[in-house]
């Protein structure tokens, strides 16, 4: 029952965010389709902003506290993730066995890069020992 309530709350937050930010469509930075951040992904102030956004939208139901892995593999120590793949997944979402809603109409490009900066930071941390 708790999971159902969390899912309903997460869905409502997502839908509200969509309606509130529908105009926040992402523009790709480069005509060849390259996706590039407009700031240094190791900037601690951007990582902190990304962490706050992550904790308010991503952590509770799907990704776990500090990306320790809720419903998916943990971010900490995950060397397979690149900033570009993180960004693209947040932007477009994912379908299949790991479903994730697309956030490209909810967050601006800069906000997605801040989330990317935080997740990229987590990939460089040692994995949590269970």
Q: Which three-class secondary structure string do you get for 74-89?
A: CCCCCCCCCHHHHHHH
Per-residue model confidence (pLDDT) at position 2: 56
Q: Does 32 map to a domain?
A: yes
Q: pTM score, two decimals? A: 0.69
Q: Does 78 map to a domain?
A: yes
Q: Does 95 map to a domain?
A: yes
Q: Does 28 map to a domain?
A: yes
Q: Does 130 map to a domain?
A: no
Task: Give 10-residue mean pLDDT values along the chain (130 residues).
Answer: 52 44 39 70 95 84 74 84 93 82 91 95 85
The total number of structural domains in the chain stands at 1
Per-residue model confidence (pLDDT) at position 23: 33
- Tell me the CATH number at 114: 1.10.760.10
Q: Please tell me the distance from the alpha carbon of residue 73 to that of residue 102, in angstroms, as a whole number.
A: 19
Would you call 122 helix, strand, or coil by DSSP?
Answer: helix
For 12, 33, 84, the CA distances from 113, given in Å and listed in that order, are: 24, 16, 9
Q: Does 129 map to a domain?
A: no
Q: Does 110 map to a domain?
A: yes
Whole domain around residue 17: which residue ranges? 2-123
Per-residue model confidence (pLDDT) at position 83: 95
Angle formed by the axes of helices 83-92 and 109-123, nearest 10°: 130
């Amino acid at each position: 029952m708790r999971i159902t309530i969390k899912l309903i709350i997460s869905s409502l937050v997502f839908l509200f965010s969509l309606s509130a930010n529908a105009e926040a469509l992402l523009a790709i930075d480069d005509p060849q389709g390259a996706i590039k951040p407009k700031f240094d992904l190791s900037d601690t102030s951007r990582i902190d902003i990304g962490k706050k956004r992550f904790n308010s939208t991503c952590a509770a139901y799907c990704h776990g506290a500090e990306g320790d892995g809720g419903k998916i593999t943990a971010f900490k120590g995950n060397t397979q993730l690149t900033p570009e793949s993180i960004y693209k997944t947040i932007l477009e979402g994912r379908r299949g066995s790991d479903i994730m809603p697309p956030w490209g109409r909810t967050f601006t490009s800069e906000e997605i890069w801040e989330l990317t900066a935080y997740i990229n930071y987590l990939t460089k941390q040692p994995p949590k020992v269970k």
